[in-house]
Structure 1
Amino acid sequence: MALLDKPYHDLFFYLPDNALHAIADDVNAHRISDLDHGSAPIDDVTISSLGRALLPALSRPDQVNQLFVDHILFALGVHVARKYGGMRPITREARGGLAPWQERRAKEILSTHIDGRLMLKEVARECGLSASHFSRAFHRTLGAAPHQWLLKHRITVAKEKLRDRRISLSEVALACGFTDQSHMTRVFTRFVGVSPGAWRRSRLD
């Protein structure tokens, strides 16, 4: 029995069998036949933390970075498969980073899709890797997850365009993959410490 006397929100994750099979195949593990979570309610800190990480994206769906969503959902799937499905890799995967050509190709694809509207598995496929292997290799090579690298790249491109007074802030935002000027301002300020307008003035005054 529960008393719900205030508004509340639920966040549900649905992991179908084919999603768990894909995760097992991706990390070279035996496929999972069942999830063992017992009969009592579970307070899983990892799942709740990943859910909270997704909340900003859910509140602003027009500004969602698909790479970030893929990253979170893949982490969630792997966690569930390992903790409740007993998934273990059959063979140990190589621990190296990206080969030079893979790094160039990944950067090229991410830069071309600067708005972030592409799937992680698409970039991985272009590099001849599974999504999980690509994510780990990318982080080892560049020191950041693909979605984090893309955000920093957006800021770099924005700074280049902000040096040109003829380009308005809203035009810079759209050219750099942001949905609008306010979206760019929030991200730019978080990374740089000042707003795009203030940064432009400090460089052009």
Structure 2
Amino acid sequence: MTEAYGQRLGERFRVETAPAMVTRACRKGEMAVTELRCDNPPSEMSASIRQEDAFLLTLHLRDVPGRVYCEGGRRAPVCDVRAGETCLQDLKRDPTVLLDKPYHSLVFYLPRAVLDAIADEANSPRIRDLSYKPGAGVNDATISSLGRLLLPALGQPDQANRLFLDHVLLAFGVHVAQTYGGMRPVSRLRQSGLAPWRERRAKEILRANLEGGVSVKDLARECGLSTAHFARAFRVSVGVTPHNWLVEQRIELSKKKLRDDRLPLADVAAECGFSDQSHFSRHFSRIVGASPGAWRQAAKE
């Protein structure tokens, strides 16, 4: 079993709690993200992580001045890492870091098998290594944005939407493969959409699981496709990701329920698969352009 995410990773960084989320959307392996936070570090090196053919990408959420980083027991040049920057580590090279300053970070786990699957789906040569400077942080706005999208889910994992997690981590994997692995963009020849029966079947499953309990992997299996191929083809056919289409269906259902004045907004949110009223209001306002209460009032006029 890997030591590169969750509580096993937390133990190597001397933290008692290490919330993590894992996706198995790729048939060849699993990706994960772990939140590590420590306000009183022990002023010692992190423990070694069992070597494997995988990478860790650490998104720093607070500044780490004078970060001391080692690979294979050799110290890299000391670097100041700023909040929002990402550091890459190859788990074949025994990465360790001096835990002498408070830190808060998200650590993404990306195994070689997933990178291979991403390259295969893109009809691209497999990636040999990721390009990075040991110990140095890079200002990667895409990783920073994706990481911040995941923070609320890590805080409330019981309310996390599996489709959303699959979508974000798959997007992360493709971005890393292209940006640090040199993978060519997906060939236009592979940009076809879903066959009509596959699109109908996927939408049927999504409508039957408005609470979000179905994963992209489940949908792909029902359609007889790989996860990455399905996710890409669904977007080509429908214009949005499976998760965003699911949210749109929830909003359409909520409009029908809002016409009943006796139904409180919190009940509408629950019956339409939203985690709470705030979650419902945020998505409703974004998609419709008005709050649920304002839309309800206007619908009566």
The answer on 1:110 being equivalent to 2:219 is no
Taking the aligned partners of 1:171 and 1:27, their CA distance within structure 2 comes to 43
Q: 1:162 to 1:92 in 2, by over 3 A?
A: closer
Structure 2 residues not aligned, in runs of 5+: 1-65, 68-79, 83-100
- In 2, the alpha carbon distance for the partners of 1:184 and 1:61 equals 18
- After alignment, is 113-122 or 81-90 more displaced? 81-90
Question: Is residue 52 from structure 1 mapped to residue 148 from structure 2 by the alignment?
Answer: yes
| Higher alpha-carbon deviation: 121-130 or 106-115 | 121-130
Identity %: 56
Q: What is the CA distance between 1:14 and its match in structure 2?
A: 1.1
The 1:83/1:198 distance shift into structure 2, 3 A limit, reads: closer
After superposition, where does 1:92-171 map in structure 2 within 5 Å?
A: 93-171=189-267
Between the aligned partners of 2:136 and 2:242, the Cα distance in structure 1 is: 34
Report the counterpart of residue 187 of structure 1 in structure 2: 283
Greater CA drift, 145-154 or 64-73:
64-73
Higher helix share: 1
Please say if residues 21 and 32 of structure 1, whose CA atoms lie closer than 8 Å, have aligned partners that are also in contact: yes
Code of the residue aligned with 1:69 in structure 2: it is L
Work out whether residues 138 and 144 of structure 1, in 8 Å CA contact, stay in contact via their aligned partners in 2.
yes
- Whether the aligned pair in 2 keeps the contact of 1:50 and 1:72 (CA below 8 Å) is yes
Deviation of 1:178 (Å): 0.8
C-alpha separation between the residues in 2 aligned to 1:200 and 1:89? 45
Q: Larger deviation: 105-114 or 19-28?
A: 19-28
Match of 2:294 in 1: 198
In structure 2, relative to structure 1, the CA distance for the partners of 1:57 and 1:161 (3 Å cut) is same
Q: Which residue of 2 aligns with 1:23?
A: 118
Q: Check 1:35–1:148 CA distance in 2 against 1; reply closer, same or farther (3 A cut).
A: same
Structure with bigger strand share is 2
- 1:16-71 deviation per Cα after TM superposition (whole angstroms, max 9, x unaligned): 23333443444455554543424462413432332233334334544432212211
User: 1:96, 1:137 within 8 Å by CA — same for their partners in 2?
Assistant: yes
Residue identity in the other structure for 2:219: V
| Higher radius of gyration, 1 or 2 | 2
8 Å Cα contact 1:30/1:89 also seen in 2: no
Out of 95, 108, 113, the residue aligned to residue 13 of structure 1 is 108
Compute the TM-score of the two structures, normalised by the length of structure 2: 0.58
- Corresponding position of 1:37: 132
TM-score by length of 1: 0.81
Q: How many residues align?
A: 204
Deviations 1:74-132, CA, capped at 9 Å, x for gaps: 12112223343344599875322122111111111111111222221211221222222
How large is the RMSD of aligned CA atoms in angstroms?
A: 3.0
Q: Which amino acid aligns with 2:166?
A: D
Residue type of the partner of 1:115?
E
Measure, in 1, the Cα distance between the counterparts of 2:160 and 2:119. Answer: 27
Between 1:143-152 and 1:19-28, the stretch displaced more is 19-28
Q: CA deviation at 1:186?
A: 2.1
The answer to whether the Cα contact below 8 Å between 1:188 and 1:196 also exists between their aligned partners in 2 is yes
> What is the DSSP-based 3-state SS (H/G/I as helix, E as strand, rest coil) of the residue aligned with 2:256?
helix
Structure ranking higher on relative contact order (CA contacts 8 Å, 6+ apart): 1
Cα gap change, 1:70 to 1:35, in 2 (>3 Å): same
The one-letter code of the counterpart of 2:195 is A
**Structure 1: runs of 5+ lacking an equivalent:** none
- Structure 1 residues 41 and 97: alpha-carbon distance in aligned structure 2, compared to 1, 3 A threshold: same
Q: Which of residues 164, 177, 180 in structure 2 aligns to 1:81?
A: 177
Q: In the alignment, residue 212 of structure 2 is paired with which amino acid?
A: G
Aligned pair in 2 of structure 1 residues 186, 8: CA closer, same or farther (>3 Å)? farther
